[in-house]
Amino acid sequence: MTLQRRAPFGSSRWYRAGLAAVVVTGVLLSVSGSSARASTNTSPAQGARKSPVVATSDGAVQGLTTGSTTEFLGIPYAAPPVGPLRWEPPQPAATWSGVLAATQFAQNCAQPASPFGVASTSENCLYLNVYAPSGRTGAAAKLPVMVWIHGGALDWGESNDYDPAGLVAHGVVVVTINYRLGALGFLANAALASGPGGPSGDYGLMDQQAALRWVQSNIAHFGGDAGKVTLFGESAGGLSVLSQLASPGAKGLFSRAIVESGTYALTTTPLATAEAAGESFATAAGCADQSATCLRSLPVGAILAAQNPAGYDPNVDSDVLPESLGTAFATGAFNHMPVIDGTNGDERRLFVGLYQLAGSTVTAANYESTLASRFAITPAAAAVVALHYPLSAYPSAPLAYAAAWTDESFSCPALTLDQSLSKYVATYAYEFNDQNAPERYLAPVGFPYGAAHESEVQYLFSLSNTAFPGTLSSAQVKLASTMKTSWTNFAKGANPSSPGGAHWSRFTPTGEQMWSLDTPSPKVATTFATEHQCAFWSQQS
């Protein structure tokens, strides 16, 4: 039986709704009752010493060395997108004389207060940070480069939160970036198109490309090899990586890609749909005349107040994304390079927990109606889903619901992407499965979060906020070491395998081998499609 849907499955609207519920309703994430996330500390670490001066195409910079890592923080990669540059493609940064003290993070991009990023009204936010092994700067080093795109539903977040010292210790240079978010980064409106057929929307993706161009021009001075750039990101950052893989404008700017939990929106918003939403935004914000002049004169606060709380996605656009992501990967119309793609085994448990904390609890009595609402399907179709995810098979109704939602919106789209990519490029697939991964500061919800969305990030980075306060066990520290080694091996040689260690088999449409990242030891898994009922979900497409 094929489900009769009122709306397409796989809509990123449902991914964002979980986060939006938290922001809009003010859900308290902290056990102590505080919903305000601590601001990132930008003070230099104790014992830090000045680094050598490094030249860039815009001017000289000097960072700080702490331990075995040299950090260059707050380097501008594009001009502030303010005034007439608001909702325009990023322009070159201004040059400077003397030496820029690159010792503190710059402002993060404008966003409302949330548990996922520090509130800001600044549009002057197009900055990046470079982390290199101490003593390894200079063109002779030629170290692989990894450029990180943070998550946050394209609405929230900042580069500051991710300390990549553990990756840098493996002999790579890591770059973390800020990019325009929310309406300022992804609003599409015909009035904003720069000339006939010019881009409308996707400004945040254009920022990411500008940062990648900066890397190509400058990273050699920091010890990096511009010919070995790995673009990686999680959640909205993973979706951004996929968008850059499909974007003609990113061709030649990177040569490997790692996608973490980024496959939730493979059907890209059509331009007409995005521009219609942009017209509604303009009216709500006080620009009923739909003029670029009015839109560019709006206070940032007014934009944040009027933007869609359920968030934004990239949209199809003639310059940046010529076609939907799923179509591009299925037909081979993307920038060909090796790819690692993965998801977490229990992605949606985080969102189900957030909804429950916001007052929306899944029970046996409302299970089917919740499925119908979530997937925008008829009651009869929801009953079919419930037959595939019977309450009797799960400890609780929330876990049954989370399993169905995980499979529909993350796991099976990831499998579809792997099948498409593997026809054209070397593809490595994984599933993060540590059921005991430390979780955010969340009040108890009566079920374990398991390997939830975002929980793998703490195994790759030291996080400089309070999102994951738990301490990794010795077994988890070992898993984290394995993951760092695999990610950096991929950056070095386009293969995550280790000589004498973990061997990642390439994913093939027939073999469908995935690497299950779990304690006590990762292992190869071949039952992903069955475990996540992807044959069932493929029938609903």
Active centre residues (catalytic)? 235, 347, 453
**What are 49's strand-pairing partners?**
65
Count other Cβ atoms within 10 Å, centred on residue 161: 25
| Integer CA distances (angstroms), 500 to 92, 248, 267, 504, in order | 46, 38, 40, 12
Which tokens in the block code for residue 403?
Answer: 């399993």
| Residue tagged 């109606």 (tokens) | 369
| Integer CA distances (angstroms), 417 to 217, 225, 245, 369, 429, in order | 31, 29, 12, 30, 10
Residues in the chain: 541
How far is residue 86's CA from residue 72's CA, in Å, rounded to a whole number? 27
Q: 181 and 114 in contact (C-beta within 8 Å)?
A: no
DSSP state of 538: H
Which tokens in the block code for residue 475?
Answer: 């077994």
Residue by residue, DSSP assigns 221-261 as GGTEEEEEEEEEEETHHHHHHHHHHH-GGGTTS-SEEEEES
| Integer CA distances (angstroms), 447 to 6, 395, 444, in order | 31, 9, 8
DSSP state of 408: I
Candidates 407, 373, 375, 377; CA nearest to 389 is 407
DSSP state of 526: -
Q: 290 and 282 in contact (C-beta within 8 Å)?
A: yes
Candidates 525, 475, 480, 477; CA nearest to 504 is 525
**What are 146's strand-pairing partners?**
174, 230
How far is residue 392's CA from residue 397's CA, in Å, rounded to a whole number? 9
